[in-house]
Amino acid sequence: MPEGDTVYRTARHLNAVLAGRQLTRCDIRVPAFATVDLSGETVDEVVSRGKHLLIRVGEYSIHSHLAMEGSWHVYRPGTKWRRPAWQARTILANAEWIAVGFQLGLLEVIARDDERDVVGHLGPDPLAADWDADEALARLTSDPFREIGLTLLDQRVIAGLGNVYRNELCFLGGVLPTRPTGEIGHPEKLVDLAHRLIMANRDRVDRTTTGTLRGATTWVYRREAEPCLRCGTSILHGRLGDSDLELRDTYWCPRCQT
């Protein structure tokens, strides 16, 4: 499931093959931007912000969001694609590489000066050089009545945390996803844990929150009815959402989390 660490690695991979090279092909298969052709322009850099990806080309940025099904692949010219061509939303090529964005949840071309319009609402990014823990804490605690499981999933609070991290952070913090944020003791520890956890996974293809890639790689996420790795109690499953966030799956240990 694409979360901030996945997008971070994607940006780094794309940057390695696109940055500093001139585009020989720019095929954007979204009706509103189908006539945009940046061929001949040089890619300056590829960066991530939370779950958003920005490919900066001259005065423009190609802005994409993976959503649930999207992914970027990189190929050598003439190499067979691993996904069908009809799923491609954009193809960016230079003399050495071809980058293909498949089933992207969002794809648009914007003026680089307008990037703030699409990512300016995001909270601090734990994987960014400008990570600001104090700002993240202020946003986390701004609504003390909102459930912590919703607060952690809100990209306006901390950018890049998805449903996996939401559930795992609640377990590691010993709190139920439905606990009001204002009742969380030492919320700064939860912010620090979020930063350390996603940083630990930023260079891994296979994500783990338990510290191992052998056996269970998550404490509670998608482990409904399985025994808690700490106490043996069966993991429970539910759904949580509000007017700002759609219903998403929650998992918790009724003994370890209160």
pLDDT in tens, 80-109: 999 999 999 999 999 999 999 999 999 999
User: What is the identity of the amino acid at 113?
Assistant: D
If one counts the domains in the chain, the total is 2
Least Cα distance to 26 among 84, 86, 107, 115 occurs for: 107
Concerning whether 202 is annotated as a catalytic residue, the answer is no
The catalytically annotated residue of 49, 51, 56, 146 is 51
Residues, the chain = 258
For residue 126, being part of any structural domain is answered with no
For residue 114, being part of any structural domain is answered with yes
The catalytically annotated residue of 2, 12, 41, 45 is 2
Domain membership of residue 37 as a residue range: 4-119
Q: Which residues of the chain have pLDDT under 50?
A: none
For residue 257, being part of any structural domain is answered with no
Q: What distance in Å separates the CA atoms of residue 208 and residue 100, rounded to the nearest whole number? A: 27
pLDDT number for residue 1: 58
For residue 221, being part of any structural domain is answered with yes
Concerning whether 51 is annotated as a catalytic residue, the answer is yes
Concerning whether 2 is annotated as a catalytic residue, the answer is yes
Least Cα distance to 9 among 53, 70, 45, 67 occurs for: 53
Regarding whether 137 and 111 lie in a shared domain, the answer is no
The catalytically annotated residue of 3, 89, 139, 177 is 3
pLDDT number for residue 12: 98
pLDDT number for residue 127: 97
Rg (C-alpha) for the chain, rounded Å, is 20
User: Other C-beta atoms within 10 Å of 79: how many?
Assistant: 11
The catalytically annotated residue of 9, 12, 29, 248 is 248
Helix (H, G, I), strand (E, B), or coil: what is residue 47? strand
Of 92, 119, 146, the position where a domain reaches its end is 119
The CATH number assigned to the domain holding 55 equals 3.20.190.10
The CATH number assigned to the domain holding 210 equals 1.10.8.50
